[in-house]
Amino acid sequence: MNDYPHDNSTLSAPSRRSFVGGTTVIAGAAALGLASRSVFGQAPRTRMDIVAFAQDATRLANFEAAVQEMMDRSAADENDPRGWLPNANVHRDFCSIPDDDPSQMHYCYWFLAWHRAYISVTERKIRAISGDDSFSYPYWNWSSDRHIPQAFARSGSSLSNAVRYTVPQGLRDDQVDYFPDDPVFGPFGVAALSVRRFEARTPGQIRGSFGGIRRPNPFGAYDNNRLERTPHGDVHNYVGGTSGQGAGDMTDFTTAGRDPIFFAHHGNLDRLWEVWRQDPARKATEPPSEHFLNHRFVFTWIDGMPIEVPMSDVLDTTKLGYVYDNLNVFRTGAVGPVASAESASSRPPAVGRQTIRVPLQPEAAPDETERKILEITEVEAPTQPMTVSVFVKPANAPPDDLGTSIGTFSALLSGGRIAWPSRTLTFDITAAAKKYAGEQITVQLIPHRIRGQGSGPEIYPPLKFGQMRIVTEGASDHHR
Q: For the purposes of burial, counting CB atoms within 10 Å of the CB of 98, is it exposed (0-12), middle (13-18) or buried (19 or more)? A: exposed
Would you count residue 215 as binding ligand C2O (CB under 6 A)? no
In angstroms, the CA 310 to CA 291 distance is 12
**In terms of DSSP bridges, do strands 386-394 and 404-414 run parallel, antiparallel, or are they unpaired?**
antiparallel
- If phi > 0 it is left, if psi is from -120 to 50 it is alpha, else beta; for residue 110 that is alpha
Q: State the minimum distance, in angstroms, from the CB of residue 262 to ligand C2O.
A: 7
CA pseudo-torsion sign 189, 194, 200, 204: negative
106 or 451: whose CB is closer to ligand C2O?
106
Q: Which of residues 110-169 bind ligand C2O (CB under 6 A)?
A: 115
95 or 413: whose CB is closer to ligand C2O?
95
In angstroms, the CA 331 to CA 340 distance is 20
DSSP labels for 392-426? EEETTS-TT---EEEEEEEEEEETTEEE---S-EE
267 or 447: whose CB is closer to ligand C2O?
267
129 or 261: whose CB is closer to ligand C2O?
261
Find the helix or strand (DSSP H, E) in which 157 lies. none
Would you count residue 229 as binding ligand C2O (CB under 6 A)? no
Q: Which one-letter amino acid corresponds to residue 421?
A: P
222 HSE (CA, 13 A, CB side)? 23
Q: State the minimum distance, in angstroms, from the CB of residue 71 to ligand C2O.
A: 20
Q: State the minimum distance, in angstroms, from the CB of residue 298 to ligand C2O.
A: 16
CA pseudo-torsion sign 245, 84, 239, 186: positive
Q: Which one-letter amino acid corresponds to residue 138?
A: P
Find the helix or strand (DSSP H, E) in which 476 lies. none
32 or 192: whose CB is closer to ligand C2O?
192
69 or 101: whose CB is closer to ligand C2O?
101
Report the residue closest to ligand C2O, judged by CB. 95
230 or 444: whose CB is closer to ligand C2O?
230
Site string for ligand C2O, 49-88 (x = CB under 6 A): ----------------------------------------
295 or 393: whose CB is closer to ligand C2O?
295
Q: Which one-letter amino acid corresponds to residue 291?
A: H
Q: State the minimum distance, in angstroms, from the CB of residue 91 to ligand C2O.
A: 6
Alpha helices in 210-289 (DSSP H): 226-227, 234-240, 261-277, 280-283
How many Cβ atoms sit within 10 Å of the Cβ of residue 118? 24
Q: State the minimum distance, in angstroms, from the CB of residue 236 to ligand C2O.
A: 6
In angstroms, the CA 164 to CA 73 distance is 22
CB of 270 within 8 A of CB of 115? yes
CA pseudo-torsion sign 86, 87, 89, 93: positive
Note the Cα 11 to chain centre separation in Å: 31
Q: Of 125, 232, 347, 393, which lies in the binding site for ligand C2O, with binding defined by CB under 6 A?
A: 232
Q: State the minimum distance, in angstroms, from the CB of residue 141 to ligand C2O.
A: 16
Q: With contacts defined by CB under 6 A, how many residues of the chain interact with ligand C2O?
A: 9
Would you count residue 106 as binding ligand C2O (CB under 6 A)? yes
Site string for ligand C2O, 300-339 (x = CB under 6 A): ----------------------------------------
Q: State the minimum distance, in angstroms, from the CB of residue 266 to ligand C2O.
A: 6
DSSP 161: -
Q: Of 34, 95, 151, 344, which lies in the binding site for ligand C2O, with binding defined by CB under 6 A?
A: 95
Q: State the minimum distance, in angstroms, from the CB of residue 257 to ligand C2O.
A: 8
Site string for ligand C2O, 233-272 (x = CB under 6 A): ---x----------------x--x---------x------
| Interaction site with ligand C2O (CB under 6 A) | 91, 95, 106, 115, 232, 236, 253, 256, 266
